[in-house]
Structure 1
Amino acid sequence: MVFSANDQTNLQSPVFAVTRDDRARLLRCPSKVVWLTGLSGAGKSTLANALEQFMHSKGRLTYILDGDNIRGGLNRDLGFDQTSRDENIRRAAEVARLMADAGVTVLAAFISPLVRQRETARRVIGDKDFIEIYVSTPLEICRRRDPKGLYGKALQGGIQAMTGIDSEYEAPRNPHLIVDTSIETTASAVARISKLLR
């Protein structure tokens, strides 16, 4: 028998003996989800890596989720049409929520260009655990950096609906922090973000 993914009538929230608070006491720190959003090449992964190194040095358990490690496994069945992109972010948020519940501070680096996608992530993760960082590096800088060669491919017609080229990026309405990596050092940005995690 096949059940619809939307049929939640037979599901109940499990009650486990060890709680999230118990795990936080064991790890000696609360967990959060830092959601880094911005254009390709803005510096999301660079910031996530630097923040993870800093937090690791302070004894904090972290994990980076990004488009590459999520799409390479869990979401390899998804395409790049709008419905698939929305589902990619929803699934990533579900994973981030579970990891945060396990006591891990998650550094989620996703373009997540639409307000509705980030609102879905916030709703799934929970407002008190969701820290939105807008990596606002200007498009012209991102295109110049082009670490994955995506802008070049898009401009030659090799990629359709590339965010920043022929697909819109909707800036966050009220992020916890804005970081422009073209004018701020990684160390400075990491210091500012880490203050939100105390």
Structure 2
Amino acid sequence: MKKHITPHRGEVCRPDREQQNGHRGAVFWFTGLSGSGKSTIAHKVEKALFDEGRKAYVFDGDNVRHGLCGDLSFSREARAENIRRIAEVSKLFVENGIICMCAFITPLKSDRDRVRDIVGEGDFHEVYISCPVEVCEERDVKGYYKLAREGKIKNYTGISAPYEEPKNADIVIHSDRTSIDDSVQQVLDYVRECTANGK
């Protein structure tokens, strides 16, 4: 608790919001290499939840870099701060009873553990979108792997920087051998189960 700062509690609490929404709030943290399908799957899950009348929102790595984290570089410290900010914002969304999906590479276990600590054990769900770097590089949707191979992007995860594979993710999707539709359905079923009122 910071000195001389006292949190203010309003008249509407999280259970009130969740009851009105018809579901619990939670954070689903999509981790995996660039090109693994994190954002694609997260956004399709968001659309399915929206069509069902649920309140859901996706935080995407590139989008956040244009606004909230636009002042940050790509140094190790700045990347950690980028993740910390998203964790704090997603926690606020959860308090509002919203299903929050965060699609960030988050290559280091220490950063993912920090997010879990900020959000809270019961509200944090790690979604590992597993895909071999060779397959991600073949897709190279954004052209980043090519630039990394040419040395134009330094410390690129999977090429010149490590990715620490999650050992105990809550759900693992092998996007190199599972169709997009099946991947989305698996995640969607898991999200529904975790956010059902009464759980």
TM-score normalised according to structure 1 size: 0.93
1:83-118 deviation per Cα after TM superposition (whole angstroms, max 9, x unaligned): 000000000111111111112111100000000111
Matched, 1:153 2:119: no
Structure 2 CA distance for aligned equivalents of residues 196 and 11 of structure 1: 38
| Matching residue within 153, 161, 186 for 2:180 | 186
C-alpha distance in structure 2 between counterparts of 1:121 and 1:74, whole Å? 17
CA RMSD of aligned residues (A): 1.1
Matched, 1:43 2:37: yes
Q: Among 76, 79, 83, which residue is 1:82 paired with?
A: 76
3-state SS in 2 of match to 1:196: helix
Q: Report the counterpart of residue 135 of structure 2 in structure 1.
A: 141
- What is the deviation of 1:195? 2.4
Residue 97 (1) aligns with residue 91 (2): yes
- Aligned twin of 1:130: 124
Higher mean Cα deviation, 144-153 or 52-61?
52-61
Contact preservation (8 Å) 1:50, 1:186 = no
Partner of 1:57: 51
Give the paired residue count: 192
8 Å contact from structure 1 (residues 33, 131) kept in 2: yes
Aligned-partner SS, 1:127: coil
Letter of the structure 2 residue corresponding to residue 30 of structure 1 = R
Letter in 2 for 1:124: I
Shift of 1:81: 0.6
Q: What is the identity, as a one-letter code, of the residue corresponding to 1:161?
A: N
Question: What is the match of residue 3 of structure 1?
Answer: none
Which of 6, 11, 15 does residue 17 from structure 1 map onto?
11
Q: Percent identity?
A: 38
Deviation at 1:173, TM superposition (A): 2.1
**Which residue of 1 is the match for residue 62 of structure 2?**
68
CA distance in 1 between counterparts of 2:180 and 2:98 reads 22
Provide the C-alpha distance between the structure 1 equivalents of 2:190 and 2:8, rounded to a whole number of angstroms.
30
Per-residue deviation, 1:68:
1.2
1:142-162 CA-partner distances (Å, limit 9, x unpaired)? 000011100000111110000
User: What TM-score do the two structures reach when normalised by structure 2?
Assistant: 0.93
Structure 1: gaps of 5 or more residues: 1-6
Question: What is the alpha-carbon distance in structure 1 between the residues aligned to residue 40 and residue 94 of structure 2?
Answer: 21
Which amino acid letter does the alignment assign opposite residue 148 of structure 2? A
Letter in 2 for 1:128: G
